[in-house]
Every structure is written in structure tokens, then in C-alpha cells.
């Protein structure tokens, strides 16, 4: 049981390049999330997927797109990277049932630098 996995761990892009961050979970969770973490700003939600086939914008969606490929996988795409997107990106998943299961599990993060 690997939990939440993310690839790649590190990435350097030039301005204007595109890339896709991959996330997978093996806990059979319904909800998945993408956050970015910047110094002094905590974690900010980019997009989330409440269930397979649905996606919704979070707090900072501009410049990003997502795909919920299946129940396990949720990818984040930067179509034209900008230096402002230099950040650490975390994927998380959660069982949608709520109550005592209402806990997010996080991946190890992807450190992205845009030059």
C-alpha cells in the first residue's frame, strides 16, 4: 500500500514549456486534490475532483488544467509555465464519506522551478 505517489519529484522548466504532474493513490479514495505550497502562504487549493469524472476549481486555478483519468489518478497540467508557478505541488486524496474518515492523505510533493 503506497498511499499517494507523485511523479516527478523535481522538475525544472523554461518559461513557456508545458508539463504534466502525475498523482496516483491506491486507497480507493473518491476525492483527490492538487495544492501548491509557497513560503508564508501555506497550502492553496488549485483544483479538486470530488469523484471520478468530476473536477472543480479551487482557490488558484489560473494557468492549470487537471484530468481525473480514473479513480486512482489525477494529473495536473501546466500548458505554458511561468516563473510564478515555481512552487512545491502536493497531491492529496480523501475518502468522500466524511465524518471520522474525513482526512486527507498527502503525497511527497513535486518541486517545480520555472526559469
Partner 1 sequence: AQSVTQPDIHITVSEGASLELRCNYSYGATPYLFWYVQSPGQGLQLLLKYFSGDTLVQGIKGFEAEFKRSQSSFNLRKPSVHWSDAAEYFCAVVPSGGYQKVTFGTGTKLQVIP
| 112 binding partner 1? (CB under 8 A) | no
| 53 binding partner 1? (CB under 8 A) | no
Q: Which of 50, 63, 71, 73 binds partner 1 (CB under 8 A)?
A: 50
Q: Which of 41, 79, 82, 83 binds partner 1 (CB under 8 A)?
A: 41
How many residues bind partner 1 (CB under 8 A)? The answer is 30
Q: What are phi and psi of 99, to 5 degrees?
A: 65, -135
With CB under 8 A as the contact rule, which of the stretches 20-28, 44-52, 69-77, 79-87 interacts with partner 1? 44-52
With CB under 8 A as the contact rule, which of the stretches 16-24, 62-70, 71-79, 106-114 interacts with partner 1? 106-114
For the beta carbon of residue 25, count every other beta carbon within 10 angstroms: 23
| 25 binding partner 1? (CB under 8 A) | no
Least distance (Å) between residue 34 CB and partner 1: 12
What 3 state SS string does 43-108 have? Answer: EEEEEEECCCCCCEECCCCCCEEEEECCCCEEEEEECCCCHHHCEEEEEEEECCCCHHHCCCEECC
Amino acid at each position: 500500500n503506497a498511499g499517494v505517489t507523485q511523479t516527478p519529484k523535481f522538475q525544472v522548466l523554461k518559461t513557456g514549456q508545458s508539463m504534466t504532474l502525475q498523482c496516483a493513490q491506491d486507497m480507493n479514495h473518491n476525492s483527490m486534490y492538487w495544492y501548491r505550497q509557497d513560503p508564508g502562504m501555506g497550502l492553496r487549493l488549485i483544483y479538486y475532483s470530488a469523484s471520478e469524472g468530476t473536477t472543480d476549481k479551487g482557490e488558484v486555478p489560473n494557468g492549470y488544467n487537471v484530468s481525473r483519468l480514473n479513480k486512482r489518478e489525477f494529473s495536473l497540467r501546466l500548458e505554458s509555465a511561468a516563473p510564478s508557478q515555481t512552487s512545491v505541488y502536493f497531491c492529496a486524496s480523501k475518502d468522500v464519506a466524511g465524518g471520522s474518515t474525513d482526512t486527507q492523505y498527502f503525497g511527497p510533493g513535486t518541486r517545480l522551478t520555472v526559469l
